Amino acid sequence: MTGEPATTDRRVVRYTFPERVMHWVSGFTYLYLLISGLAFYAPQLYWLASILGGGPTARFWHPWIGLVFTIAMIWMHRSWRADMRITDVDRAWAREVDKYIKNQDEGVPPADRFNAGQKYFYWVMAIGAIFLLLSGLIMWFPEFVPWGLRGFRYAAVIVHEVAALITIGAFIIHVYMGLFMVPGGFRAIVHGYVSPRWARMHHRLWFNRVTARE
Amino acid sequence: MVTASKGATGALQIKAISGHAGPVPGRDAQRPVGGGVCKLVDVTTCIGCKACEVACVEWNGYPFQETTFDNSYQTMPDTRWNYYNLIRFNEHQFQDGSFGWLMRKDQCMHCADPGCLRACPADGAIVQYTNGIVDFQQENCIGCEYCVTGCPFNIPKFNSETKKVFKCTLCSDRVSVGLEPACIKACPTGCLHFGTKDDMKTLAENRAQQLRENSTHKNAGVYDPPGVSGTQVIYVLHDITNPEAYGGLPSNPRVPLMVRLWKGPLKWLGSFAMFGGMLGVALHYLRYGPKEVDKEEEKRP
């Protein structure tokens, strides 16, 4: 977070402008992939394709948007890899996750820039993206997989679906927490800053670190 | 594509639709054709003249194609999106030591349990008529090629320019008006027959028996694979124990297990999990609500 003051009297910079851009590029591309993917997933949801311009259009863009999502994920990995490393702090936090869920936050160990839940979410999406990319490439060009190796075609459809479902589960929790469960979280990822009290409550180790630096 | 019904082999009444939620419109509105229509290919009387290939491209309005020479009489290595019908030539040594050409007319088998239709996510892109014909409706096709993955016979072919998939229609346009498919009409040796499945099955079994009793082909038999609940295209083979010798005809074709899993249990499991997830977070909000910063901060020392 160089170049910007980490804290002022009333606000702490939580996400820099590039971080917010990369978050929303990956977020909106994931949303497109989710809607188009669900359309191809079940006949009951095929109508979703019509809001994306119809089945053929959704099918045409799905793999290309998938590549944009991949690029956004690589970018994210390069900037957040260090912050996302799982440490003993996270293991302690994860042991008290039931208290976090029940909003008994006084019993939850302090977290660094990202808490263990955010880190696990990140790794589910990052590893899921790798599986989705590899299986998706096969599903994009099945006719180039030789008939003798058609087992890869069959594996791809299963891997793509299972990986997608796992990321959807994580995505539901992520959106719920960002929009509803943690007030201030959505403003942080849009405008980039949080109040010192918010930072102190949710990410005390990070708050102490950035304020000590000044 | 659906035209007026003509006679027992004609009526194109839809039995199954790909990617379709709810029942098939007009189901049971007509009496089904018993066993459906059937194309019988007696490979033992095929002379490899390729009249059926020519008739197929002519009827479907596709251009004639340059042949690919591969030390064989085969026109090209594989069927194409605009070349539905290909005689596969294979040199073979029979059990009695004699050599021969195995010539098999390769095209869509029109499975009773079609893997393409099971895999297809696009509403109405693949239909199965009550007479057994499995037909692609390109105006509804989205070009995802799931059918390519679903087919155990490697039949559907993708046109990368139009992003649509094509295959043999069993001349549904001809059959619906009481005509035989174009390939049947062109065959000069009587190797190809067309009629009801029951009649063709009887004809095929008689021919196989004749071969077993009066020729050296003691393993002659009829290829109507039960793994896909039978097909509307059946073969009489010299050696039913070795269909792979006929240019890779699978000995026990089935809709791939992964495709059945993908389109069956995983669909229900996944939908259940997604709805469960949304219900879970909604209940969490009602039970515990948001994490209010001020309130929590006050508790801290």
pLDDT in tens, chain B (301 residues): 333 333 444 567 888 888 888 777 766 666 555 679 999 999 999 999 999 999 999 999 999 888 998 888 999 999 999 999 999 999 998 878 888 889 999 999 999 999 999 999 999 999 999 899 999 999 999 999 999 999 999 999 999 999 999 999 999 999 988 899 999 999 999 999 999 999 999 999 999 999 999 998 999 999 999 999 999 999 999 999 999 999 999 999 999 999 999 999 999 999 999 999 999 999 999 999 999 886 555 454 4
C-alpha–C-alpha distance, residues B158 and B144, integer Å: 9
- Contact B154/A182, CB-based, under 8 Å? no
Residue B192 placed within a domain: yes
Give A189 to chain B, closest Cα distance, Å: 17
- Round the average pLDDT of chain A to a whole number and report it: 93
Pick from B135, B193, B196: nearest CA to B9: B196
Which residues of B fall within a CB distance of 8 Å from A162?
266
Give the pLDDT of residue B8.
45
Touching B: A residues 61-90, CB under 8 Å: none
Distance in angstroms (rounded) separating the CA atoms of residues B108 and B234: 11
Domain check: are B215 and B273 in the same one?
no
| Of the listed ranges A8-17, A188-197, B73-82, B135-144, the one predicted with least confidence | A8-17
B-facing residues of A in 129-168 (CB < 8 A) are: 139, 142-143, 147, 150, 153-158, 161-162, 165, 168
DSSP alpha helix (H) spans, B109-219: 115-119, 146-150, 172-175, 182-186, 197-214
Q: Give the 3-state secondary structure of residue A70.
A: helix
**Per the domain annotation, does B76 fall within a domain?**
yes
Could you tell me if B280 and B228 lie in one domain?
no
Task: Give the residues across from B136 on adjacent strands.
Answer: B126
**Contact (CB<8Å) B281/A55:** no
ipTM of the complex: 0.88
What mean pLDDT do residues A182-207 have? 93
Instruction: Read off the pLDDT of residues A125-174 as tens digits, 9 standing for 90 and up.
Output: 999 999 999 999 999 999 999 999 999 999 999 999 999 999 999 999 99
Given CB atoms, is A184 within the 8 Å cutoff of chain B? yes
Instruction: Give me the residue label for tokens 């590039």.
Output: A18
Query: How many domains, chain B?
Result: 2
Radius of gyration for chain A, computed over Cα atoms and rounded to the nearest angstrom: 20
Whether B85 contacts B183, CB under 8 Å: yes
Q: What backbone torsions phi and psi does residue B70 show, to the nearest 5 degrees?
A: -140, 45
Closest residue, chain B, to A202 (C-alpha)? B293
Q: Shortest CB distance from B291 goes to which of A142, A172, A182?
A: A182
Do residues B182 and B271 both lie within one domain?
no
- Interface A:B, Cβ pairs < 8 A: 133
CB of A40 within 8 Å of a chain B CB? The answer is yes
Could you give the maximum distance between any two Cα atoms of chain A, in Å?
66
Residues of B in contact with A180 (CB under 8 A): 281, 285, 290
**B145 and B284 inside one domain:** no
Whether B2 is in a domain gets the answer no
Instruction: Tell if the CB–CB gap between A142 and B20 is shorter than 8 Å.
Output: no
Q: Are residues B204 and B290 in the same domain?
A: no
Same domain, B54 and B172: yes
Q: Is B186 contained in some domain?
A: yes
What pLDDT is stored for residue B2 in this prediction? Answer: 38
B44 & B117 share domain: yes
**Tokens 């942080």, located at residue:** A188
CATH topology for A17-185?
Fumarate Reductase Cytochrome B subunit (1.20.950)
CA-closest candidate to residue B108, choices B228, B5, B245: B228
Contact B255/B115 with Cβ under 8 angstroms?
A: yes
B204 with B269, same domain?
no
Shortest Cα distance from A198 to chain B (angstroms)?
6
B47 and B110 inside one domain: yes
In tens, the pLDDT along B152-163 reads 999 999 999 999
Chain A contacts of B297, Cβ < 8 Å?
197, 200-201
Residue A10 confidence (pLDDT) above 80: no
A contacts of B294 (beta carbons < 8 Å): 197
pLDDT tens, residue by residue, A76-117: 999 999 999 999 999 999 999 999 999 998 889 999 999 999
pLDDT tens profile A56-67: 999 999 999 999
CB A18 within 8 A of CB A79: yes
Token pair recorded at residue B191: 């190797």
What are the chain B neighbours of A10 within 8 Å (beta carbons)?
none
Q: Do A169 and B274 touch (CB under 8 A)?
A: yes
| Percent residues over pLDDT 70 in chain A | 95
Query: Which residues on A lie below 8 Å from B142 (Cβ)?
Result: 40, 49, 55-56, 58-59
Per-residue tokens: B91: 């040199």
Q: Does B250 touch chain A (CB under 8 A)?
A: no
Rounded to two decimals, the pTM is 0.89
Average pLDDT of A12-40? 97
Q: Is A173 on the interface with B (CB under 8 A)?
A: yes
Domain span including residue B269: 264-299
Q: Quick one: tokens of A17?
A: 């402008």
My answer on whether B211 and B279 are in the same domain is no
pLDDT at B180: 93
Domain ranges of chain A: 17-185
Contacting B residues, span 118-147, partner chain A, CB-CB under 8 Å = 121-123, 140-146
Same domain for B187 and B274: no
Residues of A in contact with B138 (CB under 8 A): none
d(CA B105, CA B86): 6
Query: Distance, in angstroms, between B125 CA and closest chain A CA?
Result: 11
CB contact under 8 A, A103 and B297: no
**Whole-number pLDDT of residue B203:** 96
Element housing B221 (H / E): strand B221-223
pLDDT of amino acid A9: 58
Determine the pLDDT at residue B157: 97
Rounded CA gap, B27 and B21, in Å? 14
Q: What is the CATH number of the domain that holds B228?
A: 3.30.70.20
Q: Which of B154, B268, B281 to mutate to test the interface with A (most CBs of A within 10 A)?
A: B281
pLDDT at residue A8, rounded to an integer: 52
The answer to whether residues B271 and B156 belong to one domain is no
Chain B nearest C-alpha distance from A78 (Å):
30
